[in-house]
Amino acid sequence: MNEKEIFKEISFNVVQGRFRSEDEGIEEGLEGRPGVKDLVQKGIEAGVSPKKIVVNALTQAMDSVGKKFESGEYLIPDMLASAECVGGAMDILKPLLSKDGVKTKGKFLIATVAGDLHDIGKNIVKIILKGEGYEVLDLGTDVPADKIVETARQQDVQFVGLSALLTTTMRSMEDVIQKFKAAGIRDRIKVLIGGAPTSQEFAAEIGADAYCSDAFKAVEYLKQVQPA
């Protein structure tokens, strides 16, 4: 397999959501064929640059998954299977990338805000962003504003994603943003918000940088503010 074929196979299997060789794909009968894990390892052994694997295979495949999700062709489990592949591939590649002097795309802190225990959406965003090459710090659910601000400062985080599923808890997002201001770090942080009751208008009202209706909207926004 040459470099191009390896990229093609990795992309195909990310889109099929197959990490290990025993995994089933979207299509029938792929069990037993090499999965993303095997192919990435094969690529590394063959001397393919880890950075190229990320850019030419993983990122492109995830773009295509995002489009399929957007169009309704892919549903949540399909997207998660693909994201799992990319996340797993990144775990293999990360040590090599840092050896090559390639940095991650940045630190992304993610949390469900105070009073709210919903985390399905947050976890999806986390997996997708990890797959995109961000270093994701997940603070969990019901996270007090102070803890978010303190962690963001200590860890020198560039991006913060806030999630809420309740109309009663979404207000806590504003609290977090105000505390970023009070701490004097609002300018160096991009705040992304999401969750069922939130909206573009709400984001504008509380002074968030972006409203994301799903994980891929977050990726889209991050690409705008941080071109590859």
Report d(CA 187, CA 184) in Å as an integer: 8
Q: Residue 35 or residue 161: which is nearer to other proteins going by CB?
A: 35
Q: Does residue 94 sit in helix, strand or coil?
A: helix
Check binding of 78 to other proteins (CB under 8 A): yes
Near other proteins by CB under 8 A: residue from 4, 41, 52, 75: 75
Task: In angstroms, give the least distance from the CB of 25 to other proteins.
Answer: 7
- Please list, in sequence order, all residues whose beta carbon lies within 8 angstroms of the beta carbon of residue 62, skipping any fewer than 6 positions away: 14, 82, 83, 86, 128, 131, 132, 219
Among candidate residues 101, 95, 102, 93, the one with its CA nearest the CA of residue 40? 93
d(CA 161, CA 180): 13
From residue 4 to residue 43, what is the string marking binding to other proteins with x (rule CB under 8 A)? -------------x-----xxxx-x---------------
Q: Tell me if 204 contacts other proteins by CB under 8 A.
A: no
**Nearer to other proteins by C-beta: 24 or 150?**
24
Residue 191 host element (H or E): strand 190-194
In the complex with other proteins, the residue whose CB is nearer, 26 or 185, is 26
- Candidates 10, 36, 62, 80: give the one binding other proteins (CB under 8 A): 80
CA 37 to chain centre: 19
Give the C-alpha distances (Å, rounded to integers) separating 46 from 39, 53, 87, 100, 192: 10, 12, 21, 16, 39
Is the CB of 85 or the CB of 177 nearer to other proteins? 85
In the complex, what is the shortest distance from the CB of residue 130 to other proteins, in angstroms, rounded to a whole number? 17
# of chain residues touching other proteins (CB under 8 A): 11
Binding of other proteins at residue 95 (CB under 8 A)? no
Contact set with other proteins (CB under 8 A): 17, 23-26, 28, 75, 77-78, 80-81
